[in-house]
Amino acid sequence: MTRESAVVGQFRVPESFLSEEFNPIRTYMDCDRIRRYTAKKAYAVQSGFIGGLSVGMNHITLSAKVLEIQKPASVFTRFGESAVVANALIGDKTGTIKLCLWDAQIRVVSKGDTVHIKNARAFAFKGEKQLRLGRNGTISVEQEKAIAT
């Protein structure tokens, strides 16, 4: 419960109530905050395909083909530093997703490469699902393995 923008009270709502058909707040799972929370509960490494990703998943490992790389743009980070950022559209047999590349990561990949991404996380930016590598994430180009798109 809130008063203006301050939280003044909280109470636990049983999952059985939330999953009832005629529940007035049944669409609670449509909230990004809830999806991120439930995805974080499954902390194990998420390995697989783009089609199975949801916002809030961490420790994602997958292989995909680089379909497109947007023109890099120079930006200022929240820490006041200058950086270069570019979005790459990657895809596998289950779908496509944007991958946010920073500075040196941009020079590692080219259109048509098959990349192996390790320790990424899924998030929403301007309502669009994207992958971000972060400090502990890695991206490498696979030389021989091909992914069907």
Domain range spanning residue 91? 45-142
- Specify the CATH number for the domain of residue 124: 2.40.50.140
- Please tell me what DSSP assigns to residue 146: -
pLDDT digits (tens, 9 = 90+) for 63-118: 999 999 999 999 998 888 899 999 999 999 999 999 999 888 898 899 999 999 99
- Measured CA to CA in angstroms, residue 61 lies from 15, 26, 64 at distances of 30, 32, 10
Residue 18 lies in a domain: no
- Measured CA to CA in angstroms, residue 6 lies from 12, 28, 41 at distances of 18, 20, 26
pLDDT digits (tens, 9 = 90+) for 22-54: 776 666 656 677 667 666 665 555 667 888 888
What is the tally of structural domains in the chain? 1
Residue 103 lies in a domain: yes
Contacts of 103 (CB under 8 A, 6+ apart): 83, 84
